[in-house]
Chains A and B, each alone.
Chain A
Amino acid sequence: MIPVGTNLTRKNFPWSTISLLLANWVIYFSFLESDIYTEFWIWRYFYSTPGDPYPWQLITSMFLHANFWHLLGNSIFFWVFGIFVEDKLGWKVYLYLYFLTGVASNLIHGAMVGIFMREDLFIPSLGASGAISGIMGIYLYRCHYSKIKLLISFWLPIRIQVPAFIILSLWFLRDFMGGIDTIRGIHHNVAFWAHVGGFSAGLGTCKYLNYEIQARKEKLEFVAETTLEKSVGYGEGITAAETLLRTDPDNPEMHLKLARVKSRLRASAEGKDHYEKSIKLLLEKDPKKAMEAFIEFWNKYFSVLEPKYQLRLSRLLNKSLYFDLSAHTLQALIESNPSLDLYMEEAYLYLAKIYATQLERRDLARYVYDKFLEKFPKSKHREFVERLIHRTSTE
């Protein structure tokens, strides 16, 4: 069975995976037609030979492949799992762990040969499969909740989806049994202990780096993302999102998702609350998105936020040429908020300005200015407003 993808989505472009794949293919084609002198040189100094080792062989052997099919098989597995592991870990940690598990796989393979199959100590091994098994181990730890898309065979193009923990555990078991076979003297042309070693190194590394916390979080995010947008059966997603928000209450995306799902059928206090939190948090991180969320919120609840946030939002709406909406939200703010603080002063003045300049409703602007003078008789802007009223009345 050939893995062809997963049900996860990436956020970043997999530069490191592509670079490593490219390096492998370039090296393969560079030495494809090499003469016997070069072949001997590579075999002697760059393949990993446990019984007669050079330290650099632990790395160089990872970039050498026996034939086209060997490289193609490794490339498919690397692409399917590598891109998501890179996405989760970031390129620096990803590359570090790729080489770390690759070297560990070669060392474990050597040690197993040294303990159980000493007569094979001088048989060289090559290929990136140890490091790729390491990446698969990391994938199992971090993305155990995902599903792997499998092609039954090249000749039978039927795709099935299997939970990652089942298929990866089966692959690991197959490699382990293959390793036992080699100990029992059954010859295989595969370094099974390198696969087992790499996979175990990947899992062990994740454990040591406490990746289970992130894995749990990513699982909840995944469940929330995949189920909250469904029209039915989104209860699991709500639970996941609420659990996530308990540990990370400042996650605007999750608040927004939860707000949408809780406001889907009818307006609710919970939905409104999540919208408000999401918009407030987004205002700091991504004002444009905050404005979009606010439009959704307004359409559903016809309500405004506290003056401090609402003023920013109304300004954003105005800048984005939503003049009417900006004016309506300020109007709603003025009507709903009886307090007479500086924010409210600003709300009056800004609303009047929109009426006067963008909507060309001088009557309404005059009305707002009058109200302003009435409400804030001691404002420092009073003189300025009076001058404006005087100028408009003489015009």
Chain B
Amino acid sequence: MIWKAILQYKQIIFSRYTHLFLGLLALYGISSIITYTTPLDKITENLKRYCYTGYGMKMPLFSQNIREIEYYREKYKEQLGVLTKGLFNYDKKDEAQAYFVANGFLYDSWQENENHSYLLAKIIEKGVHKRESPEEVRFDYLILGEKKIVPFSEYVKGPGTGAFVSAGEKAIYLYKDSLEPLLRWYFESLWVTESKASYHFYGDPLSYSLYRDLREICEDIFIKRHYMNKQSAQQTFIEEGFRVFLPTLLSMGARMAVDRNSNFPSDYQYLRACLTGLSLNPNHTMFYLLKTERLYTFSPMARKGWKAFSQRLDLTSLDKITLEQISEMSQSIFNSLEDSP
């Protein structure tokens, strides 16, 4: 009897079907290791769902399902409470910020045109910037990338429509994401087309603007082909490209820092920052992007300023627009703003 049972067990153990089951268990183990997510990942994901359901409640498209969204938001909040237990209290912004900063992320939330807006992004670089003209200003800045949670305005408008800069309570945020996808996309297309001469960049207005701003880098990478390895070429293009635009971003940030404590509406502050940036450190790419972007403005002052911006300097003759013209035009619109000094 025992011998028969042993034989039966032996048959089961050595059966190929059992081997397959053991193989499946091994696959489960490997997959579990690969798909392992840290508590930070889980908290981030839940926070994202919580914030985005909050955005969803404000969007007319989902107004029919408001009860469902509310219920989901409540559930995400419950889960967030469970996940953050012992780590930080989600309702206290300072505690949440400290937790995310310790993990290399910036978390912020604020009121934006009657909507609650959130931001969670990776901190790429921290620094202090000092500028003496036109006004003396010293501010902390953070270069942010890989946005996990985008502000409400960007969520509504869709990807790739984020602001270049914004003002936080303690620092000015410079968004690498506002330029990086563009640089990446143009790198891919230019690398594939194997541009041999400068006129190959005249194909579309944005690549032409990029070429005018990043002439040296473009020639090095695409025409002279100094980089054989695509990955290192791409990295150089993005890093160096961003460095070229950084002074403009910092000038924008400086204006934001000066205006931070004013009572200007946020979209009006943003207009002032863009005009300052382009007047002090003009470049073709950001000028083109601001000219062509559909900006949603709420304050009449901002709307008036953007209208003037869109009417000046005709994009149909892009090749005739110079950096001096961009700078002068931006300065003159800025000066014409009612609150300008």
Residue positions of A touching B, CB distance < 8 A: 36-37, 40, 44, 50-53, 55, 58, 93, 96, 100, 103-104, 107-108, 110-111, 113-115, 121-122, 205, 208-210
Q: Give the residues from 143 to 200 in chain B that come closer than 8 angstroms, CB to CB, to chain A.
A: none
Complex-state Cα separation, A208 to B21, whole angstroms: 12
Contacts of A40 in B (CB 8 A): 71-72, 75
Stretch at the interface among B27-35, B87-95, B228-236: B27-35
Q: Which residue of chain A lies nearest to B83 when distances are taken between CB atoms in the complex?
A: A52
Taking CB atoms, residues of chain B closer than 8 Å to A36 are 67-68, 71-72
* Contact of B37 (CB < 8 Å), options: A44, A51, A100, A104: A51
Q: Which of B16, B28, B36, B45 contacts A107 (CB 8 A)?
A: B28
Known: A36-B71, A111-B35. 7 other contacts (CB 8 A): A36-B72, A51-B35, A53-B32, A58-B28, A111-B27, A121-B37, A209-B20
Ranked nearest first, the 3 interchain pairs of A and B with the lowest CB-CB distance are A114-B34, A114-B35, A107-B31
Q: Is B24 an interface residue (CB 8 A)?
A: yes
Question: In the complex, which residues of chain A have a beta carbon less than 8 angstroms from the beta carbon of B34?
Answer: 110-111, 114-115
* A113 in contact with B17 given A36-B71, A40-B71, A40-B72 (CB within 8 Å): no
The number of chain B residues touching the other chain, given as a range, is: 20 to 34
Is there a chain A Cβ closer than 8 Å to B114's Cβ?
no
A313 to chain B, nearest CB (A): 41
Decide: A110 near B20, CB < 8 A? Known: A40-B71, A40-B75, A122-B45. Answer: no
Q: Is B138 an interface residue (CB 8 A)?
A: no
Asked if B41 and A121 sit within 8 Å, CB to CB, the answer is yes
B45-82: which residues lie under 8 A (CB-CB) from chain A? 45, 67-68, 71-72, 75
Q: List 20 A-B contacts (CB under 8 A).
A: A36-B71, A44-B75, A50-B31, A51-B41, A58-B28, A100-B21, A103-B28, A107-B27, A107-B28, A108-B27, A108-B31, A110-B31, A110-B35, A111-B35, A114-B31, A114-B35, A208-B20, A209-B16, A209-B17, A209-B20
A40–B72 CA distance with the chains assembled, in angstroms: 7
Do residues A51 and B19 form an inter-chain contact, with CB atoms below 8 A? Answer: no
* Alpha-carbon gap, A294 to B67, bound state (A): 78
- Determine chain A's interface SS by DSSP, over half rule: helix
- How far apart sit A371 and B36, CA to CA, in the bound complex (Å)? 92
Contacts of A205 in B (CB 8 A): 20
Inter-chain contact A208/B16, CB cutoff 8 Å: yes
Q: Does B126 contact A (CB under 8 A)?
A: no
The reply to whether the CB of B42 lies closer than 8 angstroms to some CB of chain A is yes
- A113 near B21 (CB under 8 angstroms)? no
Contact for B17 among A50, A96, A122, CB less than 8 A = A96
Report B48 CB to chain A, min CB distance, Å: 9
Are B35 and A53 in touch, CB under 8 angstroms?
yes
A52 touches B20 (CB 8 A): no
Q: Closest CB of chain B to A135's CB: distance in Å? A: 15
The answer, among A52, A104, A209, for a CB contact under 8 Å with B27, is A104
On chain A, the residues within 8 Å of B28 by CB distance are 55, 58, 103, 107
List, in ascending order, chain B residues with CB within 8 A of A122's CB.
Answer: 37, 45
Chain A: which residue is nearest B69 at the CB level? Answer: A36
Residue of A nearest to B74 (CB): A40
CB neighbours of A37 from chain B (8 A): 71
> Given the complex, which residues of B lie within 8 Å of A104, measured CB to CB?
24, 27
* A53 / chain B contacts, CB cutoff of 8 Å: 32, 35
Tell me if B42 and A51 are in contact (CB < 8 A). Answer: yes
B42 contact set on A, CB distance < 8 A: 51-52
Residues of A within 8 A of B72 (CB): 36, 40
